[in-house]
Chain A
Amino acid sequence: MAQAIEDAGFVQEVVIATTRLLHGDTSLTDRDRTALTRCRDLLLNAESQDQPTFGEPQLEPSKSPSLMRAARTARLNMSASFEETVSIINAVLDNGDLDPAALKVIDSLRDLFLAIGETNLKSISATRSARRDLGLWKPLTTSSTS
């Protein structure tokens, strides 16, 4: 469950960084740059056909199976493809370039992450509720002798 906090923090960092860009501030902080780099990696991972590894601790948000799936589901509302979005993020990271068309994509990217944040919260609530109902509550572990 520690993944949940990593995911929530990452989602919010992307929302903050993209909001800054949308308001014309291209002087990104280190934290913004890290968030956008991870965001780009998440989009690349979400596009990949490789199966994410389940069942082992995974704290890197750009490889979080839950975020990858949420990204794939939520992308239907995006104005651009993942590839186009990735190249715009790269341009922003490289030289801060943002033309009006790119701004539209960044706006759409922010919406994507807002949707991912909502999905993350719903997923946590649903899991906790299911554990309560089904008596499946377990410690933070995935292992036991019996």
Chain B
Amino acid sequence: MEALDDEFHFLAHSVERAVDVQEKAATELLEVSLGRGVLLAQRLLNHYKRVRDLVDYTRESYKESTDAKLKQGAITEMRTLVDYARHDLQRCLGWLDAASEPVLDPGTRYLIEFLASQLVAPDSEATVVPTLEGSYSTLVGAPLDDADGDDAGQVPIVVFIPRREQHSGLLHPLIVHELGHAASRRHGLVTQLVERAKEDQEIQDAHAAAAQSVAAHMEIDTGVREHIREVLEIEPIDETDSEALTEAASNYLWAIARFCLEEAFCDAFAIQILGPTYLYAFAAIVGTSDLDLNDPQHPAARLRIELMLRQLDDLAWTDVLKQETPKVYEWFRFQADTKGPSMEPAPSFSAKVVRSLSVEVQTVASEHVNNLAFTPDTIDVDLRTKINRLLEVGIPPAQLQEPVSSDFTDGQVDTEQSVKVTAIDRPQVIFASWLFAIQQGGGTLEAIAKAPGLPELSLLLPKALELSALLRAWDGGGA
């Protein structure tokens, strides 16, 4: 029994030591944060407190008891907590570092904060974390949930970006897509879509057929079983248990359909907010991969292009695309019209769900974005020309100056010229800057690859976003 006791205390102290370091980092951030990452640090401190509370509670009951089974259970719990604290919680240190010393320029941060407050929750707080991962991703919810479940609109969001892109023009469109994930999870938007999918008879039939096929694969292929166990985060599946195989196959299919619907929703969300700019950015990052890749968490890029073109067409952007970037549009159209290879049952099922619900996906995105939508009727040739002139001479295109008609003072004409200064809307700035960069590069797909690194997108655009936000705040419109 003594050896058991020693093992328990050994493990309990290991949990506490792992949490100590992380608690200290969160506390330090709160002391010197200058308002950044406050919500993140507070929620992490709550989470660390939860871990400590579990350790204290278990230790207390351990001391009071002589029951060997209780002691064995307590040891198992401590092993689980050590694993969690050392691996999962440790990554939160990187989030605290990013909140403490943000890598993004102020203009991009203002844009993210504005959109998050409008579309995720009024008092949301977004922290952008550069990582060594190759792709962008988002975290909202656990372990950053409010302990009482009543967050009163205070939602911490963590957006992960590839470190290589922290000063690139790709940031704005792709972070808008990522905020779609946060909005969806906060407001249960994709959950609505999944429920609709589950009510659709054709989808139900396809699900039943695909589940049968996937279960049969699982029975004979260890790799498939392991992959599904990994996605569902469940314990190893017994290949001789046909009920367990069918259940796992069924759950797996709904899980990947949900992932893919969420991606399609986030694309639609970003198109609503940024119009064709998102499509250009998508081409720069996703268009370089295998367009027919069967990824369980994403619809094939070819399908995503097809759906985005359809949405842009519904929003009356097609003429703008054809006129401004005809060669790029042709490439997109060609890819969307090209039939991909036949797919395995699982990705084929998720593609069917995404395609069947494409109209609903657009509608949900459009209703959620509402008056923040960027539409072609706001495109003004005169404005574009003015923005281009500013970019040509290296001035951030943030504001427009228009002469104001003369006033009469005491019956005399005031001969001093008055100038009215207005902030250019940020989606306009982003779109015009992207078009400028693409057209400067010859209007080709190759120009899209170069655009994110050009000074117009990596230097002037962030500065323009910053100035536009400041001007708007100065005028009382909020940043």
Q: Footprint of B on A, CB under 8 Å?
A: 1-5, 8-9, 11-13, 15-16, 19, 22-23, 31, 51-57, 59, 65-66, 69-70, 73, 110-111, 113-114, 117-128, 130-131, 134, 136, 138-146
Contact = CB atoms under 8 A, between A and B. Distances in A.
A1 B297 CA distance: 17
Contacts of B178: 143, 145
Nearest to A7: B80
Interface in B155-197: 160, 174, 177-178, 181, 185, 191
Given A15-B73, A57-B141, A110-B69, A66 B234 contact: yes
Contacts of A66: 233-235
Interface stretch (B21-29, B258-266, B430-438): B258-266
A126 B259 contact: no
Contacts of A136: 230
A113 B73 contact: yes
B285 A145 contact: yes
Interface size class, chain B: 35 or more
A5 B81 contact: yes
B449 interface: no
Contacts of A142: 259, 297
Interface of A is mostly: helix
Interface stretch (B130-138, B332-340, B409-417): B130-138
What 5 pairs across the A-B complex have the smallest Cβ distances? A2-B142, A144-B137, A55-B258, A2-B143, A57-B141
B85 to A, nearest CB: 9
B389 interface: no
Given A114-B76, A145-B178, 20 more contacts: A1-B88, A5-B80, A5-B81, A11-B73, A16-B57, A55-B255, A56-B185, A66-B235, A121-B80, A126-B229, A126-B235, A134-B230, A139-B133, A140-B139, A141-B160, A143-B266, A144-B135, A144-B136, A145-B135, A146-B289
Interface string B229-244: 1101111100000000
B230 A131 contact: yes
B145 to A, nearest CB: 7
A59 B77 CA distance: 17
A123 B77 CA distance: 13
A12 B87 contact: no
Contacts of B77: 8-9, 11-12, 117
B104 interface: no
Interface string B36-52: 00000000000100110
A51 to B, nearest CB: 6
B231 to A, nearest CB: 8
Contact of B235 (A1, A8, A69): A69
